[in-house]
Structure 1
């Protein structure tokens, strides 16, 4: 939810690369796994200072077709929650 509006991102992951599609634009990030449930995402071509910051992702629960995760900027205490749904 951003400004009370539900937003959706689609992504495809290949080994250590993730390609995100959001509002008609694509972006590529590196993915570095810490353990089976945590990884760090870093944009390969940041367009501003905010995009240069890495994001820590922590998978909290899983099902056969989805997972719930917690995420935040590396080194900061504010965390948010999200859900991923498998579409293929």
Structure 2
């Protein structure tokens, strides 16, 4: 009988999965925050199914999008200005709410990942 609470706890925890409805975030206008080494980087972007235009630090970058599935996308900069911009970026939506999503991203083929949060702009 003393194992019953442990079994019940295991069953309840194993059934829990964080919400992840990614389709609403494939198109729209968003505000994003990423913290790297204690510094917060903010940007806004507008995304349709195939293109994303991002404004960051008074600069505008445009990328072609290739959706792998509803929650993962690869960005390819349209007019890269340096070698770093020529690298594709893989983004994976980890969790969603009704007004935001948490994501991780990295250069394609690299293991170091960063995380951020994007919010729907109204």
Category of TM-score, reference length = shorter chain: over 0.9
Counterpart Cα distance in 2 of 1:8 and 1:42:
20
Q: What is the CA deviation profile of residues 21-61 of structure 1, one whole-angstrom value per residue up to 9, with x for unaligned ones?
A: 00111111001100011010110000001100000000000
Q: Which has the higher helix share?
A: 2
- Structure 1 runs of 4+ aligned residues shifted over 3 Å read none
Gap regions ≥5 residues in structure 1:
none
Q: Which structure has the bigger radius of gyration?
A: 2
Counterpart Cα distance in 2 of 1:11 and 1:54:
17
Q: Which has the higher strand share?
A: 1
What RMSD over aligned residues (CA atoms) do the two structures have, in Å? 1.0
Gap regions ≥5 residues in structure 2:
1-34
- Corresponding residue for 1:83? 117
The reply on whether 1:26 has 2:57 as its aligned counterpart is: no
- Secondary structure of 1:15's match? coil
Which of 60, 66, 69 pairs up with 2:100? 66
- Which protein, 1 or 2, shows the higher relative CO under an 8 Å CA cutoff with sep ≥ 6? 2
- Secondary structure of 1:51's match? helix
The reply on whether 1:4 has 2:13 as its aligned counterpart is: no
